[in-house]
């Protein structure tokens, strides 16, 4: 399967790129608004993988080109770019592809980070509203600390919550997540349940802020 | 220390009563609007503890009387009674006591449960707004499955997130939580961070709904 990570030069994109390339046989495409930046990131990720004896062939493209070539398109962009990124790629998308969104709207103050969803109710729902009707949207990978994901020495031992209205798309993305070692996917229901999933992201950052010795905080469910 | 569990006949009250009586040396008081109901619950909890060889002396009172006698007062009532319960007991409270709130506002539909905070922003903040100024308010015990808590055979292995503006009150409540075996308290910051803590409660219920074999779901942070 071909997985495109749009905004794949950012921290969550880097983490997912390294994990998919290291742990699975799927083909990873890095997308960026600037294809040159995408190719620079690819060189960096390949060097990191090579230092661990993993021969990975990652490719870098402009976001539109990456989306066009992929089976699964991950919007690893900041929340305020999520809608615009969907618009930029929508002509390249069709009903055989899956759009995945990990972004979360947050606002910070002196106390910590607070969940700040867009008017759609969640970034996941905003992406679903903006995506072409025939393209299934899946919310996943929201609550993973980027630094833990990017550090291949970290065992993760984390859960990721997956929401979607399309059952097939949800199982495809859950299977991809489960292929990352140390990551377990859990079903959190339909897209309407995305807000409760997204709001864990500011929470884990607050837990890291207030508890000595806790970094790259993530969550598991029992 | 004397811990009053107001609404202590309900499911979260039962769980906390059994755990505090079983795992700690603190004195447990059960409060209810109806003192007769409180005493019935006490008889039930004592029987359960006795069947495990634990001789506990729990006492049942009307909420006001329980609050008057306690060092720590836990509002183990449904969210829509939290404000009224504070009003009912406020004349009994003083600045040497701590008010603890575990309640969460939720609304359900066919998709699952959704976080539904009061206008104050969180039930924790609502309680803080309604409590006398000199009484410190601590949010804790929000995300614990009541059935897991009430089942003394369950090892828990769970975290509870604690929010408060008063550092001393927060440490006291964290220490109490840490005395429950299998429970670890984490600092989630000031009261302003309560909404992100409370919204984990509908999430864990949704995870239980959508994942086969998962019941009494709770959360741990790494």
Q: Is there a contact between A203 and B200 if contact means CB atoms under 8 Å apart?
A: yes
The reported pLDDT for the residue numbered B40 is 98
Beta bridge partners of A158: A183
Residue B17 has pLDDT above 90, yes or no: yes
Mean local confidence (pLDDT), B108-112: 97
Residue ranges of E strands in B16-141: 27-32, 59-62, 72-75, 98-101, 106-109, 112-115, 137-139
Q: Work out the burial of residue A28: count CB atoms within 10 Å of its CB; fewer than 13 is exposed, 13-18 middle, 19 or more buried.
A: buried
Chain A residue with minimum CA distance to B203: A196
Q: What stretches in chain A show pLDDT beneath 50? A: none
Show the tokens assigned to B159: 């975290």
CA end-to-end span of chain A: 31
Cβ of residue A186 closer than 8 Å to a chain B Cβ: yes
Mean per-residue pLDDT of chain B: 97
The pLDDT value recorded for residue B213 is 95
| Distance between A112 CA and the closest CA of chain B, angstroms | 7
| Cβ pair A196, B206 in contact under 8 A | yes
Average pLDDT estimate for B79-108 = 97
Confidence at residue B203, expressed as pLDDT on a 0 to 100 scale: 98
Q: How far is CA B131 from CA A2, A55, B84, in A?
A: 56, 62, 10
Please give the Cα distance from A148 to A144 (Å, whole number): 8
> Is A193–B111 a contact, with Cβ atoms under 8 angstroms apart?
yes
Kindly list the residues from chain A whose CB atom is less than 8 angstroms away from the CB atom of residue B189: 111-112, 206, 209-210
pTM: 0.95
**In this structure, are residues B49 and B30 in contact, taking their beta carbons and an 8 Å threshold?**
no
| Spans of all domains in chain B | 2-210
CA B32 – CA B21 distance, rounded (Å): 18
Two tokens at A206?
A: 């607050």
Compute the nearest-CA separation of A53 from chain B (Å).
28
Average pLDDT over residues B110-131: 97
Is residue B136 predicted with pLDDT exceeding 90? yes
Under 8 Å between Cβ of A196 and A124 = no
Q: What is the pLDDT of residue A57?
A: 84
Instruction: Give the model's pLDDT for residue B57.
Output: 84
Quick check: A222 contacting B, CB < 8 Å? yes
Q: Are A189 and A166 in contact (CB under 8 A)?
A: no
CB-closest option in A199, A206, A220 to B189: A206
Contact A161 B109 (CB under 8 A): no
Give the chain A residue nearest B108 (alpha carbons). Answer: A193
DSSP letter for each residue of A197-210:
HHTHHHHHHHHHHH
Q: Which of A189, A198, A205, A216 to mutate to test the interface with B (most CBs of B within 10 A)?
A: A189
For residue B5, give the 3-state DSSP assignment.
strand
Give pLDDT, residue B161: 98
Correct CATH for A2-210 of 3.40.50.720, 3.40.50.2300, 1.10.443.10, 3.40.718.10: 3.40.50.720
């Amino acid at each position: 399967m071909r997985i495109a990570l749009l905004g794949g030069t950012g921290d969550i994109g880097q983490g997912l790129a390294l994990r998919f390339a290291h742990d699975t046989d799927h083909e990873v495409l890095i997308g960026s608004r600037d294809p040159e930046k995408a190719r620079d990131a690819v060189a960096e990720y390949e060097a990191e993988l090579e230092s661990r004896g993993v021969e990975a062939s990652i490719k870098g493209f402009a976001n539109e080109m990456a989306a066009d070539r992929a089976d699964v398109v991950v919007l690893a962009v900041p929340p305020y770019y999520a809608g615009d990124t969907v618009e930029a790629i929508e002509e390249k998308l069709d009903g055989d592809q899956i759009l995945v969104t990990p972004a979360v709207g947050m606002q910070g103050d002196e106390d910590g980070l607070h969940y700040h969803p867009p008017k759609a109710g969640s970034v996941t729902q905003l992406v679903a509203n903006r995506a072409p009707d025939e393209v299934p949207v899946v919310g996943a990978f929201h609550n993973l600390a980027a630094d833990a994901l990017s550090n291949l020495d970290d065992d993760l031992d984390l859960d990721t919550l997956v929401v979607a209205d399309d059952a097939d798309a949800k199982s495809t993305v859950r299977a991809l997540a489960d292929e990352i070692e140390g990551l377990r996917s859990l079903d959190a229901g339909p897209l309407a349940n995305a807000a409760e999933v997204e709001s864990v992201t500011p929470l884990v950052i607050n837990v890291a802020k207030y508890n000595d010795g806790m970094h790259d905080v993530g969550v598991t469910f029992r």
